[in-house]
Structure 1
Amino acid sequence: MADNSSGKVTDELAALDFAAVSPEEFARIVKGLSAKQLTEVMHGELRTRVLGEVFGRMKQQFRPEAAGALTALIRWKITGDTEAVYETSIADGTCTVSEGRSEAEPRTTLIMADAEFLKLVSGNGNPVTMFMMRKLKVAGDVGLASGLTRYFDIPKA
């Protein structure tokens, strides 16, 4: 897919049933696209579907044994045409995800563009490198943010 025009890539992604795409297949799709292509496909209804599916799967990919007694609210701000905000709450060995900003104070907030978000959640981006290159901004508990990937089964492409 990487060498196709953006329109063709967008059409192919729009035709996908994201609920039927495995995390590993999603990781391969993301790996095959450039940052520019990832940004170009993240518009409108397709962006809403992709973000909804990724955050919808976090609960299933959560590793309670790794989180132990951790209690934390993580706010995700994904910038693009519009800012999308989701929150991941980890407490009592469970993970819940909600769309939108709550009144609660997050322990950490992760801010990144669409392409960086997709790379991060698909295992195609190194969070430390992204942070050092200012592609991922962290507000609050940087230590928690740096270890978040160990609390989830991240696919490998």
Structure 2
Amino acid sequence: MADIGDLDLDTLDFGTVEPKEFARIVKELPVRRIAELMSGPQRKRVLDEVFNRMETLFKPDVAGKRDALIRWRITNGDDARDVYETHIADGACTVSRQDSGRDPQLTLTMAAPEFLKLVSGNASGPALFFTRKLKIQGDIRLAGGLTYFFDIPKA
């Protein structure tokens, strides 16, 4: 494992980074550096990789027969810059890189650093919510259990 200080995040191919290593990188990077990374050209690549992995890290046995559309709004300041949707149904999780126009059961809005911390297991949803770094619209019970639907590696 490379030392975080030795990594060139602007050229790192996040598609080659294993989930556990990604969690370690997010854990060790200062929030300011994560914010810089997610304000630059790597933003879309990082977000696309995270959402692509949601499909493979999904635990259908935990989600059961749930059918839910979750809209993720990843902000850059107050601007809802990126919108993704995950649809959990029929034992699978599918991802869309845009707003489908359908009514989601849950909308989660947060800045990119908090999103990366959440999906890498370095922050809890309730902690982000109670510190107002995560906004929730819709099914609060679904929001509370959402991280259990995925095999999130810990750093």
Q: TM-score range by the shorter chain?
A: over 0.9
Q: Write out per-residue CA displacement over residues 35-78 of structure 1, whole angstroms, 9 at most, x where no aligned residue.
A: 11111111242001100100011100000000110000000000
- Partner residue, 1:104: 102
Q: 1:17 aligns with which of 13, 16, 41?
A: 13
Q: 2:152 aligns with which of 139, 143, 154?
A: 154
User: Is structure 2 residue 41 aligned with structure 1 residue 45?
Assistant: yes
Give ranges in structure 1 of 5+ residues lacking alignment: none
Give matches, 1:63-74, under 5 Å. Answer: 63-74=59-70
C-alpha distance in 2, partners of 1:39/1:105? Answer: 30
Identify, as 1 or 2, the structure richer in helix: 1
C-alpha distance in 2, partners of 1:44/1:13? Answer: 10
C-alpha distance in 1, partners of 2:21/2:103? Answer: 35
C-alpha distance in 2, partners of 1:141/1:153? Answer: 21
SS in 2 for 1:85: strand
Give ranges in structure 2 of 5+ residues lacking alignment: none
Q: Which amino acid aligns with 1:28?
A: R
Q: Which amino acid aligns with 1:76?
A: W
C-alpha distance in 1, partners of 2:13/2:29? Answer: 18
C-alpha distance in 2, partners of 1:84/1:61? Answer: 21
SS in 2 for 1:45: coil
Q: Structure 2-normalised TM-score?
A: 0.92
Q: Which amino acid aligns with 2:128?
A: M
Q: Could you list the structure 1 runs, at least 4 aligned residues long, displaced by more than 6 angstroms after superposition.
A: none
- Partner residue, 1:126: 124
Give matches, 1:130-149, under 5 Å. Answer: 130-149=128-147
Give matches, 1:17-36, under 5 Å. Answer: 17-36=13-32
TM-fit CA distance, 1:106: 0.3
Root-mean-square deviation over aligned CA pairs: 1.5
